[in-house]
Structure 1
Amino acid sequence: MPVSGIISALVVGLIIGALGRLALPGKQNIPIWLTILVGIAAAILGTVIANALGVGDTRGIDWIELIIQIALAAGGVSLAAGMYGRKRV
């Protein structure tokens, strides 16, 4: 994977992870690196799901794909916050 691909994955992961955190009410006590990892996983999985549903490549902005990715990121951040909080106590 070229360096530009890695940087793109980090940026997309950060954005999707941040949007997932914003979609959740309250404060999530997880570090930024975990948010990025959840965001990257949600972006990849969301793209796979959107392609399987046939909405992954549309004209213009792929809104349905983006909504799927953010929903997955919100679920992942919620899950990570619950698991990370238990380990820290």
Structure 2
Amino acid sequence: MDTILWVLLGGAVVGLLGKFIAPGDRDNIPLWLTVLCGIGGMLIGNWAYAQVFDPETARIDWWRHTWQVVTAAILVMLAAGITGATGPSRR
């Protein structure tokens, strides 16, 4: 149960950070989709980081978290593009 809670909380934080750094207006995707993008960013970012660097560290690994947030930002952009939620139109 603790793992599920940490994944949801971490997914929300990573998803919101990814939404914040994603270029353009990405505010129209719902919170649940942002959390899913954050969870995906955590999982895919961890996997990609482990493929390039040594994932075993005794302290906070800021590079791994950076990879997670950047991956979440990419997923937010993809989700916004798929759902058509790219923000208000500017005419």
Give the RMSD, CA atoms, in angstroms.
1.5
- Give 5+ residue unaligned stretches, structure 1: none
Q: Distance in 2 between matches of 1:4 and 1:45?
A: 21
Q: State whether structure 2 residue 49 is matched by structure 1 residue 50.
A: yes
What is residue 5 of structure 2 aligned with on the other side?
7
Give the deviation of 1:64 after TM superposition.
Answer: 1.1
Give the deviation of 1:51 after TM superposition.
Answer: 1.4
Give the deviation of 1:6 after TM superposition.
Answer: 0.7
Q: Give the fraction of aligned pairs with identical amino acids, expressed as a percent.
A: 37
User: How high is the TM-score relative to the length of structure 2?
Assistant: 0.83
What is residue 20 of structure 1 aligned with on the other side?
18
Higher helix share: 1
Q: Give the structure, 1 or 2, with the largest relative contact order (CA under 8 Å, sep 6 or more).
A: 2
- Give 5+ residue unaligned stretches, structure 2: 86-91
Q: Which string of whole-angstrom CA distances, capped at 9 and with x for unpartnered residues, describes residues 6-62 of structure 1?
A: 111100100100000110244311000000001001101111111121242334221
Q: Which contiguous aligned blocks of 4+ residues in structure 1 show a shift greater than 4 angstroms?
A: none
Q: Distance in 2 between matches of 1:33 and 1:12?
A: 13
Q: Is the 8 A contact 1:46 1:68 kept in 2?
A: yes
Aligned residues: 84
Q: Distance in 1 between matches of 2:19 and 2:6?
A: 20
